[in-house]
Structure 1
Amino acid sequence: MARDDPTSSFYDHSAAIYAARDRSLPQRRLDAFLNALPAGASILELGCGGGQDAAYMISQGFNVTPTDGSPEMAKQAEKLIGKPVIVRRFEELEDDQLYDGIWAEASLLHVRRPDLPGIFNRIRKALKDGGLFHASFKAGEAEGYDSFGRYYNYISTDGLNDLLISAGWKDISLNETDGGGYDGKPTRWLRMRARRSIRSAT
């Protein structure tokens, strides 16, 4: 995604309003994710938005590295978290086996469909053996844009499952639920969890 594309522009220009919106913390999903990790595990958050999820994970004793592709959104998150937020886009992820878990709630849904396999490979590389990956998407069949001009990949369960299998992920779990979004419209959410495989000792 180019820096000046409509999706990036929305988050840069609406950061303060977006960060201050009335958002329900996804605590059940967060707790399930955290309970599957070692105590004090290292977690990378991709697309931390206003920082609410990162703040919760930090409060539970985890070592969280929050990141966001929008410099303005990162500034908003820093106010809440009280620690620096790395400004980094998904395609700039170069870490190698640093994290026990990667949390990407409602962020990778903006990745262009052709770019998803490469991003999944970068995420897999950044995890330690057996590391856990959580992400959520808006479900659908055809990619498109919302009323704010934001791009969404609108992927299907079968499509996401095929991508994850092709990228070498293990223990894949997928589920769909009804909900809402920032645009106020009914939304079908697709949530996933998967692990990086543990390599056999040689």
Structure 2
Amino acid sequence: MTTSNDPDTIAFYDAEADTYAAKEREVDLPPSFLRLVTALPPGGHVLDLGSGDGHYAHAFEARGFEVTAMDASAGLAAIASRNLRKPVRVARFDELEDVAEFDGVWAHASLHHAPLEALPDAIARIHRSLRPGGLFHMSVKTGKPAGRDRLGRFYSYPSRSAIDHALTHAGTWAETDFQTTHREGYDGVATDWIILFARKA
């Protein structure tokens, strides 16, 4: 892979966009979402990086935030655009070029699709896109060698040390906080996850 997104993974989400968007969701938003919402400035600008069908982007908007949604899958972006009633960027992680634009970046279950060698650049771009003091949330599957799941999607399964390396490469952070959890993904398989909260210096 020469870019930060695997073409076969993008093709999966394009082909399965309608089914993926129709999946059942938990009634309550995850604690990580509520934590980020609480820490953001009222009315702040949030980037939903890997926005999928726009579920979380809509939840941010419902709480008064300005939201930019971005996904590498044109199929999912089209659904999100209809749901949000506004354009959604179709772009890869390595095409994020914003500078000091966002108060927060929500990268929920997305960056684990980038190969490990692309993670430092992706997080550096996120760091650059944040305003001073801006917040970064990331959740990724972990605990396995890089490879494909039973649906054919690529996962790098980054470790804590790989994420630490990428954060150091990206720039200066005022604080970082790691949590772990174990939960089921879209493929129905329970997996270990790493949840990161970081604040740009």
The TM-score bracket by the shorter chain reads over 0.9
The Cα offsets for residues 112-158 of structure 1, whole Å up to 9 and x where unpaired, read as: 11011011111100000111000110012421110111110101123
| 1:14 pairs with one of 13, 16, 41 | 16
Paired residue type of 1:108: L
Query: Would the alpha carbon gap of residues 134 and 16 (structure 1) be closer, same or farther in structure 2, given more than 3 Å must change?
Result: same
CA deviation after TM superposition for structure 1 residue 166, in Å = 3.5
CA deviation after TM superposition for structure 1 residue 76, in Å = 1.0
8 Å contact from structure 2 (residues 6, 154) kept in 1:
no
Q: What's 2:57 paired with?
A: 54
Count how many residue pairs are aligned between Structure 1 and Structure 2: 197
Which range moved further: 33-42 or 135-144? 135-144
1:170 aligns to 2:185 (yes or no): no
1:128 aligns to 2:159 (yes or no): no
1:147 aligns to 2:154 (yes or no): no
8 Å contact from structure 2 (residues 70, 91) kept in 1:
yes
CA deviation after TM superposition for structure 1 residue 3, in Å = 7.9
8 Å contact from structure 1 (residues 46, 67) kept in 2:
yes
Write the distance in 2 (CA, Å) between the matches of 1:123 and 1:2: 13
Within 5 A, what are the aligned runs for 1:98-113?
98-113=101-116
What is the TM-score normalised by the length of structure 1? 0.92
SS in 2 for 1:78: helix
Question: What are the ranges of 5 or more consecutive residues in structure 2 without an aligned counterpart?
Answer: none
Q: What's 1:43 paired with?
A: 46
CA deviation after TM superposition for structure 1 residue 95, in Å = 0.6
Write the distance in 2 (CA, Å) between the matches of 1:126 and 1:96: 4
Write the distance in 2 (CA, Å) between the matches of 1:139 and 1:27: 18
Q: RCO greater where, 1 or 2, for CA within 8 Å and sep 6 or more?
A: 2
1:182 aligns to 2:186 (yes or no): yes
Paired residue type of 1:48: S
The Cα offsets for residues 86-120 of structure 1, whole Å up to 9 and x where unpaired, read as: 11111101111011111110011101110110111
Q: Percent identity?
A: 40
Paired residue type of 2:152: G
Write the distance in 1 (CA, Å) between the matches of 2:4 and 2:130: 26
Question: What are the ranges of 5 or more consecutive residues in structure 1 without an aligned counterpart?
Answer: 198-202
